[in-house]
Amino acid sequence: MMKNEFVSIIIPTHNREDLLPRAVESVLTQTYKNIEIIIVDDGSKDNTEELVQNYMNKHENIKYIKHEKALGGNAARNSGIRAASGEFVAGLDDDDEFTPDRIEKLMNNYSDEYSMITSRSLKVTKTNQRKTRFKAEIDLNDILYSNIIGNQVLVKKSVIMEAGLYDEQLLRSQDYDMWVRIIEKFGKAKMMRDVTQIIHYEHDNHSPNYRWNSFKGGFAFYKKHKYLFNRGQRKRQLYGILRLQERKVSIRKLRIFMSPGTIKPIMKYILLGV
């Protein structure tokens, strides 16, 4: 039997009038109908506001929040969460899309035994498509090695509020940071094997500062949660940070990362470039 709790779906957006309709349409066509859509416009300078207004004229379950000044994706997510009327919240990036049955499947498989629920996604690039990794249950040890969960979940609003919302100071790993905090506080997460989200990378066109900001954000995440990591998790995290600086990592460097006693040399290499 389908659960019927109210779900708020939050779509932060910034200058994406060309891509936003795909995301919005994928929510409007959900088989689960007891939803609201909250679109948070983070200081867009294009025709996003007019586009959303046209949707609102046709659909009563759409809310629109406008940041007059761009505050960043984390602030936009937090504005949407605070405004949510639903017992549950789910996120969607403005360039991605849900399968029509995503919310129905997540709600029907949700259990209070878990802190949150997610599913596998399909990642689409210019050259290929691949499904994300599956693990039925994700505990703190699992998530500290890598972000198995991905970028979106369905979770009770009360849980995400108590966990402290998104960290607006992080430049990268914002979702990852949130999942670590939720699992640490509320326990393991559940994942469905089904693919219910499509993540699009075909249009990626990053600014020259993207890799540097990603590196800084990744290292900030590492420092924030360092106290939780065991030695193997620290190596895994630092190796990931190194890859944010270099597109390819040589076999020699990989062997260094996999050998014992390497955390201090790795830190020196990342921070000093030596």
Taking only the tens place, the pLDDT of each residue in 103-134 is: 999 999 999 999 999 999 999 998 999 999 99
pLDDT the model gives residue 1? 44
Q: Which helix or strand (DSSP H or E) is residue 24 part of? A: helix 20-28
- The tokens of 185 are what? 């506080």
pLDDT the model gives residue 157? 98
Per-domain boundaries in the chain: 7-200, 210-272
pLDDT the model gives residue 156? 98
pLDDT in tens, 235-247: 888 888 877 665 5
Rounded to whole angstroms, the Cα distance separating 213 from 230 reads: 26
pTM of the model: 0.88
Percent of the chain with pLDDT over 90: 74
How many other CB atoms are found less than 10 A from the CB of residue 180? 21
pLDDT the model gives residue 274? 36
pLDDT the model gives residue 262? 53
More confidently predicted of 104 and 256: 104
7-200 belongs to CATH 3.40.1180.10: no
Tell me the pLDDT band of 138, cut-offs 50, 70 and 90: very high
Residue 267 one-letter amino acid: M
Mean pLDDT of 70-88: 97
**pLDDT at position 168 over 50:** yes
Whether the CB-CB separation of 10 and 77 falls below 8 Å is answered with yes
Tell me the pLDDT band of 216, cut-offs 50, 70 and 90: confident
Mean pLDDT for the chain overall: 89
pLDDT the model gives residue 12? 97
Q: Where are the beta strands (DSSP E) in 29-181?
A: 35-42, 62-67, 88-91, 97-98, 117-124, 129-131, 137-138, 154-156
153: helix, strand or coil = coil
**pLDDT at position 146 over 90:** yes
pLDDT the model gives residue 273? 45
Mean pLDDT of 142-165: 96
Residue 12 one-letter amino acid: P
**pLDDT at position 272 over 50:** no
Mean pLDDT of 163-189: 95
Mean pLDDT is lowest, of 23-32, 73-82, 164-173, for: 164-173
- The tokens of 246 are what? 């270099």
**pLDDT at position 60 over 80:** yes
